[in-house]
Amino acid sequence: MRSAETREAGRDSGAHDERSLESGRGQESERGREGEKNREAGAASGASQGRGEEAEPDDRIEPRFEEWLDQLREFAGYEASFDVQVRQMTFGGRRTGLLFLSTFAKDSALTEILKRLSYLDPESEVDRDALESYLLLYVPAIQVTRTRSRSKMIEEMLIGNTALYVDGDSEVLLIDAKQYPARTPDEPVLEKVVRGSKDGFTETLLVNVALVRRRIRDPRLRFEILKVGKRTQTDVAIGYIEDIADPKLIESLRDKIQAVNIDGIPLADKQLEEMTVKTNWNPFPLVRYSERPDVVASHLLDGSVTVIVDTSPSVMLLPTTYFDLIQHAEENRQSPFIGTYLRWVRFFGILSSIYLLPLWYLFAQNAYLRPHWLWFLGADKTGQLPLIVQFLLVEIGVDLMRLAAVHTPSPLVTAMSLVSAILVGDIAVKTGLFVNEVILYMAVSAIGMFATPSYELGLANRIVRLALLLATYLFQVMGFVICATVIFIALVLVRSFNAPYMWPLLPFNAKALFAVAFRRPLPENKTRPSIYRTKRNRKQPVG
């Protein structure tokens, strides 16, 4: 009996297992059908992605090929401009056209697309939704979108993209198959370092973004793309780290760039600066320019916001203070002690470029003001020209030599500098037009100006020096003091994107001012500058 009951229980258990297995198979089959539906829905969704946006009635693409060509002749300069090309071919019984600029087109990519399309059977008729088939099956490109807008099609063509048109369809495929003329990243001219990377920004925006991305592999690094200029349509990228940068600064910068209403900015970042920062007649730069990707990456990690303008090999850093403009990458490439020493030497050179000539002139004209330990200041002979005239002529002469060096071919720059500095200076002293002291102190001031990291700040300091010279000549001690005070107050009142220009001196921040005066070791540099108002203040984890 027990064995019969056992066999009966086994049969019941087996039947139950079979029912369970059958139920599992049914559930798996049901899940498979649901998965298949989901995949079909996903495929349909993917196929529908990139559909052209609806266009205004007067901005639609004509569905007939000849009418489409007429649109190109009227609005895109087809057959009037040699670089506007349309490659006409017939694939699968449908007439097609590739619209592109020959100056930007990437031949290898377009040739591969044409090769794939040539596989279509010329005897067979392609269905009416030809673009859908081309997009999913035959176009070997990474970035492909669709549009029904004629103006959008022409705008993308002018950027360098290619438009694929099929007769009978009122929309086109926009294929990213462009190649801009570009040079390789070279060492920056104005920010050279003895040790460190030798790559610098180029005139291509994508290359510049890639140089920064290579140094900051953070998924929170953002680059928002905008267009400026009704005619130039210049690409402008706003770069920042999302969880560090101040959202108000980003929003303010974005709004100002979007509010720019101008035909174009062919001079790139400088014109964009004047349209957004509104410097007016202020000679001091309110934006720091950098040609070094490592400097830009360092500022991004501190909470700064960058602006990269296409066709410009420099990047704007915002906000900017006066003390940001007098720092150089070389200081951070050396040990803290050597970096601090180099920083102080640079400070001395900048101060000399501003105050050395006015103070020497003040002591030379007023010997009673000269301390005893400065007995060597002054001139025994004043020359045939008044000292103030000599200073002004030397200032203009230095500017002329600088401009001549810029416009002189590189092989002749050395010879031109020798002729200008030795012959002109030596003859001017020997003939009695100038005194030796004027040439000496002007040379020291010029060296201090060239030692200023920011080229724009060096030129602004020269204007300040001229103003101090003229004020000292006209009003002696009172003129020097008043002019220096007015310039300092004016700098204190200046703001760069709502940031005090003379921070951390005014408003005073002892910790930040110490960081400006001394190149601290990296382990001690744990917090970000408060001027950026960052979301996260610390750069290094606590403990």
Over residues 36-54, mean pLDDT? 43
pTM of the model: 0.81
Q: How far apart are CA 160 and CA 179, in angstroms?
A: 7
Q: Give me the helices (H) in 288-424, please.
A: 293-302, 329-332, 336-365, 387-407, 410-418
pLDDT of residue 127: 58
Q: Where are the beta strands (DSSP E) in 92-220?
A: 94-101, 144-147, 162-166, 172-175
Phi, psi of 359 (to 5 degrees): -70, -40
Q: How many CB atoms lie within 10 A of CB 538?
A: 10
pLDDT of residue 446: 87
Whether the per-residue pLDDT at 252 is higher than 70: the answer is: yes
Band of residue 118 on the pLDDT scale cut at 50, 70, 90: confident
CB neighbour list of residue 104: distance below 8 Å, 6 or more residues apart: 159, 160, 178, 179, 180
- Contact yes or no for 98/163 (Cβ under 8 A): yes
Q: What burial letters (b/e) apply to 113-145, b meaning 16+ CB within 10 Å?
A: beebbeebeeeeebeeebbbbbbeebbebeebb
Average pLDDT, the chain: 83
Band of residue 106 on the pLDDT scale cut at 50, 70, 90: confident
Q: How far apart are CA 233 and CA 144, in angstroms?
A: 21
- Contact yes or no for 316/253 (Cβ under 8 A): no
Over residues 266-275, mean pLDDT? 91
- Give the residue among 465, 287, 288 at the shortest CA–CA distance from 361: 465
Q: How far apart are CA 9 and CA 11, in angstroms?
A: 5
Q: How many CB atoms lie within 10 A of CB 172?
A: 28
Whether the per-residue pLDDT at 11 is higher than 50: the answer is: no
Give the tens place of pLDDT for each residue, 471-502: 999 999 999 999 999 999 999 999 988 899 99
Crossing angle for the helix pair 387-407 and 410-418, to the nearest 10 degrees? 160
Over residues 142-158, mean pLDDT? 91
Residues of the chain with pLDDT > 90, as a percent, come to 48
